[in-house]
Amino acid sequence: MRSMTGFGKAEGQYHGTLFFTVELSSVNRKQLELRCSLPPELSSMESLIRQKIGSFISRGSVSVKVLLRRNAVTAVNINTALLAELVKAAAEVRRQAGLSPEVNVEQLLSLPGVIAPPAETGDQTELTAAFAATLEAAGENFVAMRQREGEALKNDLSARTALLEELLRQIEPLAAKVPENARKRLYCKLAAEKLQVEPNDELFVREMLFYLDKSDVTEEITRLKSHFSQMRKFFESEEPAGRGMDFLLQEFFREITTLGNKAPSPELSVLVVKFKTELEKLREQVQNVE
């Protein structure tokens, strides 16, 4: 089991001239969403990033941030023509605003296109391989954290599931008494109204059975037990289980609601409400599971 939240980071280099840092982070999302923040020099790597991320993550909103640093001795190319135009335009704007004509050239150097990256002398294939290795290392750290978070999630979910199973064990003997209690209440009402009923009256017996069957929750309890068994299997699954667990919890809610409606005794109602409360807490935690 893995969490959908995580962080991973790795650093790599290419021929001692390019140094890149790859950071991966993620938060909850029903589907896989990927956002990349890349320097212009590595913009061609986005398809590689999407392919790699998709190979080991199935759900979550993933942010990929890549920082690039060059060797200090690496030469850069300054677009002097563009810089001159910018200086001229800035001086004119300052003149019109009534300011001194001095222009801070250093600030203009930070504008896009003024400083062009130096031409690469290496092989693009080698650069891609170096970046891919760094991305994989960041991915391994990222997945490792999601697994550690997932282990903590599994322990919490297991404890909450055990609590629900205990509540069901308390519900089961009370639910077993519901049909008999319903039969007694019906006879009391008949006696109160002074209505005489023949025990062998076929129509009465048929209606009585129908009435008692409506308060029998054996099927709901059986299905709940089956759901608990399936939940335990999800805990040990090597595959992403978040979607399946989310659907299963909807089935839990449907069965316990039906049980509460069919057997509305005061003692049972308290336990059903508590079951639903804990079930909602479990559902909130499952939203974090990949």
* Pair (100, 192) in one structural domain: no
* Pair (49, 164) in one structural domain: no
Q: Does residue 166 form part of some domain?
A: yes
pLDDT at 155 over 90: yes
Give residue-wise pLDDT tens across range 199-237. 666 665 666 656 556 667 888 999 999 999 999 999 988
Q: Does residue 113 form part of some domain?
A: no
Strand partners, 14: 18
Q: Does residue 181 form part of some domain?
A: yes
Number of domains in the chain: 3
Find the DSSP H helices in 177-241. 178-192, 202-213, 218-236
Q: Does residue 117 form part of some domain?
A: no
Mean pLDDT score, 62-87 = 80
User: Whole-prediction pTM value?
Assistant: 0.68
* Pair (197, 238) in one structural domain: yes
- CB-count exposure of residue 176 (10 Å: 0-12, 13-18, 19+): middle
Considering only CA atoms, which of 60, 1, 56 is closest in space to residue 30?
Answer: 60
Mean pLDDT score, 185-191 = 65
Say whether 7 sits in a helix, a strand or coil.
strand
- CB-count exposure of residue 73 (10 Å: 0-12, 13-18, 19+): exposed
Residue 115 DSSP label:
E
Cβ atoms of 108 and 86 within 8 Å: the answer is: yes
* Pair (192, 270) in one structural domain: yes
* Pair (172, 68) in one structural domain: no
* Pair (88, 165) in one structural domain: no
Give residue-wise pLDDT tens across range 117-130. 554 545 788 999 99
Q: Does residue 282 form part of some domain?
A: yes
- Give the whole-angstrom CA distance, residue 203 versus residue 110: 92
* Pair (221, 178) in one structural domain: yes
Q: Does residue 115 form part of some domain?
A: no
Q: Does residue 159 form part of some domain?
A: yes
pLDDT computed for residue 123 by the predictor: 72
pLDDT computed for residue 195 by the predictor: 66
* Pair (18, 102) in one structural domain: no
* Pair (70, 85) in one structural domain: no
Instruction: Residue 28: give the domain boundaries.
Output: 6-74+123-145
Q: Does residue 116 form part of some domain?
A: no
Backbone angles phi, psi at 44, to 5 degrees: -70, -10
* Pair (131, 176) in one structural domain: no
* Pair (11, 140) in one structural domain: yes
CATH number of the domain within which 33 lies = 3.30.230
pLDDT at 110 over 90: no
Cβ atoms of 102 and 90 within 8 Å: the answer is: no
